[in-house]
Structures are given as C-alpha cells and as structure tokens.
Amino acid sequence: MRSLICRTLAGLVAVGVGLGVAAAPAAAAETTKFRLTTGSVVANGTYERVAGPPEQPVPSFRIAGTLVGRSLFRFRCAVLQVARSGPADGVEWQTFGKHCGPGRTSFQVQASALFGGGTPPVRLCAGWSASQAERGRKCELYRPPALR
C-alpha cells in the first residue's frame, strides 16, 4: 500500500514538473509600462518583448499605447520614436507616432533589437510642428530594462 502511494505521489510530481516546463515559453513575454511627458503631450504605453520563432534569433519588441495632447499652449506637436540600428553601428530614430493639438492618438510599432542585442529605447519629442519635433531637440527618453 505504501509503495502504491509513493508511486502515485512521484507520478503527480513528475506531471507537475512537466506542466511547469511546458508553461515556461508562454511566460517569455516581458511587459513594462512607461510614461513620457514633453511639451503638452503625454505618452502612456507598454513595452513588450515578444518571443519570435526559433529560426529568428533576434528578439522583437511591441510598443503600443496612446499620445494625449493636454493643451494648445507651449509646444503643439509631438512625435514618438524608437531607436533602430543604423549604418556603422550607429542609432537612427524612426518615427511611429505623431500628435498635434488636444485629443488622443493611438500608436503601435514592432521593433527589432539593436546591434549587440540591446533593447531599443523610445523617445517622445516636442516641437511647434511634427517635422520640428522629429529633429529631436526637446525629448524625454525611456530606456527599457535589459534583457535577461
């Protein structure tokens, strides 16, 4: 009788360990929240590491949220940009969200890791126009936590 109980208990433990290992890939997505403010625009969003297929060794990231214009005063427009690897291991800023005036604008972008596997930062820049904001003179930067 004692042997049957021990075997049953060992079997249940093995099944539990097997289910824990099987659930590990689902927990691979890491999500952080961010809030950036510059000029009269606020960006609230999530920064999520997305596990890609095994044949794609470079991780990708999904960045989504909203831009909210609070007033017409100060700087009127803002752009949201993500860093990407440029020529000669430099960094280029790619605009993926624009907002001018009061109201809300949704944004969503998929980004790849930088050279060397770094997580790409996100910045919110303000200006009198969207083209002036893209020059990146008045910005707030969000650097996500390093990958594990």
Residue spans of the domains in the chain: they are 28-142
What local confidence, expressed as pLDDT, does residue 99 receive?
Answer: 92
Q: Which of 99, 45, 93, 108 is nearest to 75 (CA)?
A: 99
Q: Over pLDDT 70: what percentage of the chain?
A: 73
Mean pLDDT of the chain: 80
Top-confidence residue, 23 or 137? 137
For 45-52, what is the mean pLDDT?
A: 87
Tokens read off for 18: 């097997």
What does CATH list as the number for 28-142?
A: 2.60.40
Backbone angles phi, psi at 141, to 5 degrees: -110, 140
Going by pLDDT thresholds of 50, 70 and 90, the confidence category of residue 67 is very high
Q: What is the DSSP string of 49-115?
A: EE---TT--S-EEEEEEEEEE--SSS--EEEEEEEEE-GGG-EEEEEEEEEESSEEEEEEEEEEPPG
pTM passes above 0.75: no
Burial 77-101 (b: 16+ CB within 10 A, else e): bbbbbbbbbeeeeeeebeebbbbbe
Give residue-wise pLDDT tens across range 85-127: 888 778 899 999 999 988 999 999 999 888 887 889 999 999 9
